[in-house]
Amino acid sequence: MGEKILMKGNEVIAEAALRAGCRHYFGYPITPQTEIAHYFAKKMPQYGGTFIQAESEVAAMNMVYGAASAGARVMTSSSSPGISLKQEAISYSACAELPAVIVNIVRAGPGLGGILASQCDYFQATKGGGHGDYRMVVLAPSSVQELYELVVEAFNIADRYRTLCMIMGDGMLGQMMEAVEFRDSEDICEADKSWAVTGTGMKRDHNIITSIYIDPEVLEKHNQKLQEKYRKIAENETRVEVYNCDDADIIVAAYGTVARIIKNVIKTAEKEGIRVGLIRPVTLWPFPTAAFEKYAQVPQAFLSVEMSAGQMVEDVRLAVNGKRPVHFLGRTGGMIPTQKEILEKIREILK
């Protein structure tokens, strides 16, 4: 490991992508993630890469579609309303099995909403914001260091499975400066990309990248192939942090920024003799169902704490499967739940 540097989350995303071998970035400005574009605009020329400020998020994601078809490590980034615009090409890319990384530094919605931190795009990211039966890997870091590590990992997962990988952060994580320690070199997955369009060189049959299958039998077969791939991803790539869950009185489910707050809550609660556990999904899809199943009968209850009106809580309920009550505490609009209100909720549940 190299030296520790103090860096802003958004800049770390761009730096991590460069270290992971990403040389093509297409984006469109939107708060609170635009520093990613600033960083690439400055650095890409030094790496001989491409930075394009596209005419729209729609175009940016379609440029990603083109560059991924051409076999490049490519990414785009945006924030909630911009991610909505990318959904068309996200669905097409999923069907065409194109590897790419998408960063969503979530802001509060719906609509143009606000620019402050939120987790209100959980449904969009994990249940398919675009049309059709598809999935994408969604990684939710909770520190700037983890942001770096997961961006590198996202490129590897994308290439390994020919899949889209989303990094889901929030304005808090993107704007926050924190110490980060970069590795001297990255472990980059060298995937076979013989499917990519590079020109036949008159040496092979032509390659085709497409997402249209008019024949229903052929399309169903393609869908089965995609589902099989998603099963494999769920089997191999589910990531979760389980903290303090043995003998817990209550287990809190939280990810990203909120999980950091919960770790402080755990310390405070301990002083009152309340044992709080934390299950922190690192992959929001695939959801770490097994971790919840394992601890389902340990606590008196579960509590999902989110910066949303209640989204991940649905997956927590499915995973706990009625074995214990699942409660919810959420703030919206860019409001962040405080330790105090979380602790009050825990006391109330355990009463």
Q: Which residues bind other proteins (CB under 8 A)?
A: 24, 26, 50, 52, 54-56, 58-60, 62-72, 74, 88-89, 92, 96, 197-203, 206-212, 214
| Paired sense of beta strands 283-285 and 301-306, if any | unpaired
Nearer of residues 67 and 298 to other proteins, judged by Cβ: 67
CA-CA distance, 109 to 114, in Å (whole number)? 6
Q: Which two tokens stand for residue 269?
A: 């609660």
- C-alpha pair distances (Å), 342 with each of 68, 178, 303, 312, 337: 43, 25, 9, 17, 7
HSE-CB of 335 using CA atoms within 13 angstroms? 12
Place of tokens 């469109």: 28
> Across the strands, what pairs with 285?
138
Question: 33 or 93: whose CB is closer to other proteins?
Answer: 93
As measured in angstroms, the least distance from the Cβ of 92 to other proteins is 5
Which residue's CB is nearer to other proteins, number 204 or number 221? 204
Beta carbon nearer to other proteins, 90 or 278: 90
Residue (72 or 319) nearer to other proteins, CB: 72
In the three-class reduction of DSSP (H, G, I as helix; E, B as strand; rest coil), residue 342 is classed as helix
Helix (H, G, I), strand (E, B) or coil at 325: coil
Q: How far is the CB of 129 from other proteins (least distance, A)?
A: 15
In the complex, minimum distance from the CB of residue 203 to other proteins, in angstroms, rounded to a whole number: 7
Residue 211 or 223: which CB sits closer to other proteins? 211
Q: In the complex, what is the shortest distance from the CB of residue 77 to other proteins, in angstroms, rounded to a whole number?
A: 15
* Closest approach of other proteins to the CB of residue 62, in Å: 4
- Shortest Cβ distance from residue 147 to other proteins (Å)? 25
SS3 assignment, position 277: strand
Rounded to the nearest whole angstrom, what is the least distance from the CB of residue 339 to other proteins in the complex? Answer: 45
CA distance 336 to 338: 6
In order of 17, 154, 168, 179, 185, the CA distances from 143 in angstroms are: 16, 16, 12, 9, 20
Identity of the residue, 197 or 290, whose beta carbon is nearer to other proteins in the bound complex: 197
The neighbouring-strand residues paired with 242 are: 279
295/279 Cα distance (integer angstroms): 9
- DSSP conformation letters of 254-276: --HHHHHHHHHHHHHHHHTT--E
